[in-house]
Structure 1
Amino acid sequence: MSSEEQISLFDVSGLPASPAPADFDPDLIPTSAKVPIPAGTYSAMEQMAVHCNQCQRCDLGASRTHAVVGRGNLQAPIMIIGEGPGQNEDETGLPFVGRAGQLLEKILESVRLTTEADVYICNMVKCRPPGNRTPTPDETEACRPYLMEQIRMVDPKIILLTGATAVRGVTGDKRGITKIRGQWLEWEGHLCMPILHPAYLLRNPSREPGSPKWQMWQDIQVVRTKLDEIRGTSAPINPQSGD
């Protein structure tokens, strides 16, 4: 089945809210990963950010400078989910602002996408893992309810999962990113695409056909085309894919 046929099967209305337990106390959310975060807990991203900056649901909270919640249009049709903050992100409280983030911006600009209008960016975990290591499964699981609330509030039409950690953390799919990048996946009524992480592209600068940068250029064009189909519009694409 083609991606065009698949999209008609998807309900992209977002994650439904569910009633909280009778004894639910939202003030306990930042204290323990055992406290659930029911869908509909937060009415605004700023409200959730307060909890994220207080959060001790895993050990990452002990060493953070800032929780890194997200940036971009809160009503964006595209959400990009990364792995976790690095040093620049921890210092600024904003995701994807280092070298990888700058490359991501160029990739988006190459197909006329911006964080002001089209994209919201966030991460699986909101606090920097020491040494920029990969978040552990426990850390990812502790932070995942915050991400689910972000997805519900933004309600994107398309979700881009950058790297294997984001794919596994959101969908549970454990396949390698090179095996599934560029493929449309259905998850919770959303149209998702795994893509290579910009940091991986920085380590592999070649633009030859079949290279990681070449693959990213193919994938981001497909994403732009799909967004245009959803909107019923079209936009010219820059033939250059960025540095």
Structure 2
Amino acid sequence: MSWDERQLAMLREMGLTAWTPRDAAPAEDASAEAAAPEPPPAAPPAYADAEHAPLGVQEDGFSYVGEPGPAAPEPGRRPAGIGQMDWPALRAAVAGCTACKLCSSRRNPVFGVGNEQARWMIVGEAPGEQEDRKGEPFVGPAGKLLDNMLAAIGLTRSEAPPERQVFIANVLKCRPPQNRNPQPEEIAQCEHYLKRQIELAQPRIILAMGRFAVQSLLQSQDAIGRLRGRVHRYRDIPVIVTYHPAYLLRNLPDKARSWEDLCLALDTFRQQG
């Protein structure tokens, strides 16, 4: 694949290196090739579904080589007793969950990352292709943007004191195929895990990023533009609404509004003492 100068400049700006195919391997000796019997045709790889096809363009605009995942479990029931689970039990329940059909196509469930006693909690929507591969929320370009946003107000997902470190989780723990929007029945099955994560973490503030995170926490169908700019509550925990980093990568003018939301979240957190 060839890249023009504009594309190369954009890749350099994002800290990425353009991919170029390796040179073709040198041809084998002609006589040896003639003597060797012709191998049987290779069987096509078995992919769990269309999203695991060898090449596909993902939400961030890049292509990834697909790999067949492990044998897909059959959808079943959500584990009982989520409201009484501690962190290890909850993590194990998410890892083995078969409550909806997303269990059949995931590579890795995405439980969350960060300090489980952090003062700040970030709630996103659903894992994407790269999150599904790594088993961690907000990786790739959207994750890099989120890390930069958090660093701008003195926060990090890395090791730090609880007042500076965040815990990051999604409404859905498994990736919807082709990065499609979460379906209502998937949210209904999965948000019980998020609610228990919030109960265990007891954050002092929640930053809800994206429409589905906002709908799940606030039970509101209003657009983010109508909800941002003020403090909401989830079980008496302040909730600040803002745009998802993946959206901001496609809508750069809204970065300024997202910065206003971060400042509001920081002021709200400080007002709690």
CA offsets per residue over residues 3-48 of structure 1, 9 Å max, x none? xxxxxxxxxxxxxxxxxxxxxxxxxxx9414x65452x2112x321
What letter corresponds to residue 189 of structure 2 in structure 1?
Answer: A
Q: What is the CA RMSD across the aligned residues, in angstroms? A: 1.5
Letter in 1 for 2:196: E
Question: 1:84-163 maps to which residues of 2 (within 5 A)?
Answer: 84-115=126-157, 116=159, 117-163=164-210
- Pairwise CA distance, 1:100: 0.7
SS class of match (2:86): coil
- Look up the equivalent residue of 2:127 and give its one-letter code: P
Structure with the bigger RCO (C-alpha within 8 Å, sep 6+) is: 1
> Which residue does 1:79 correspond to in 2?
121
State the percentage of identical aligned residues: 38
**Which residue type is aligned with residue 212 of structure 1?**
D
SS at structure 2 position matched to 1:135: coil
Q: CA deviation at 1:185?
A: 0.6
Residue 85 of structure 2 is aligned to residue 32 of structure 1: no
Structure 1 length-normalised TM: 0.76
Aligned to 2:109: 67
Residues 106-154 of structure 1 deviation map (CA, whole Å, 9 limit, x = unaligned) = 0010111112343110000000000011110100010011111100111
Q: For 2:92 and 2:113, how far apart are their aligned partners in 1?
A: 15
For residues 66-90 of structure 1, the C-alpha deviation after alignment (integer angstroms, 9 at most, x for no partner) is 1000001111111111110001110
Deviation at 1:156, TM superposition (A): 0.6
- How many residues were matched structurally? 194
SS of 2:122's equivalent in the other structure is strand
The superposition leaves residues 166-208 of structure 1 with CA deviations (integer Å, 9 ceiling, x where unpaired) of 1111221110111112321122121111111111110022xxx
Residue matched to 2:25: none
Q: Does 1:56 align with 2:98?
A: yes
TM-score, reference length from structure 2: 0.68
Q: What is residue 26 of structure 2 aligned with on the other side? A: none
Distance of 1:164 and 1:181 partners within structure 2: 11
Q: Distance in 1 between matches of 2:173 and 2:255?
A: 27
Deviation at 1:227, TM superposition (A): 1.7
Give secondary structure in 1 for the equivalent of 2:106.
coil
> Residues 177, 36 of structure 1: CA spacing in aligned structure 2 closer, same or farther, 3 A cutoff?
farther
Question: Does the 8 Å contact 1:66/1:93 carry over to 2?
Answer: yes
Give the secondary structure class of the aligned counterpart of 1:112. coil
Contact 2:130 2:139 (8 Å CA) reproduced: yes
1:37/1:145 contact within 8 Å kept: no
- In the TM superposition, residue 221 of structure 1 has moved relative to its aligned partner by 1.2
Partner amino acid, structure 1, of 2:148: K
| 1:160 aligned counterpart, secondary structure | strand
Letter aligned with residue 143 of structure 1:
C
Unpaired segments ≥5 residues, structure 2:
1-74
Task: Give the aligned partner of residue 241 of structure 1.
Answer: none
Aligned-partner residue type, residue 81 of structure 1: V
2 CA distance for matches of 1:118 and 1:51? 25
Measure the CA separation in 1 of the matches of 2:186 and 2:203. 24
| AA matched with 1:165 | F
Runs of 4+ residues deviating >6 angstroms: none
Contact in 1 for aligned 2:82/2:193 (Cα 8 Å): no
Aligned mates of 2:215, 2:147 — CA distance in 1: 24
Give 1 or 2 for the bigger CA radius of gyration.
Answer: 2
One-letter amino acid of the structure 2 residue matched with residue 120 of structure 1: F
